[in-house]
Amino acid sequence: QIDIASPNRNGTSYNSLKELQVSEQGLILNNNKHVVVNTHIAGLVVRNRNLDNGITANLIITEVTGKNKSNINGIV
C-alpha cells in the first residue's frame, strides 16, 4: 500500500518513487479519507493521513525515478 501525497488545489497527487514492484496480490494507492474502507483487493484499508484535510485526489501521478525495472504483476 502506498499512501499518496496530498493533492494540490487541482486535485492532482504527485508521488515520486525510487522503485515500484507490484506482486500478484496487487497494490493499493491509498486515496481514502475515511477511517476505514473495505476494498476488493486488500480488505480493510485505514485512512491516508496525508488526506486529513478531507480532499482526495482526482488524478494520481506516480513517477518511478530509480534505475531498476518496475515489475507490475498484479492490479494497481
Q: What is the pTM of this model?
A: 0.89
Dist CA 57 CA 42 (whole Å): 20
Q: Which three cell numbers stand for residue 36?
A: 476505514
**What is residue 4's predicted lDDT score, i.e. its pLDDT?**
98
Q: What is the pLDDT of residues 33-76, one digit of tens each?
A: 998 999 888 899 999 999 998 999 999 999 999 999 999 999 99
Domain chopping of the chain, boundaries = 2-67
Q: Taking the chain, what is the end-to-end CA distance rounded to the nearest angstrom?
A: 10
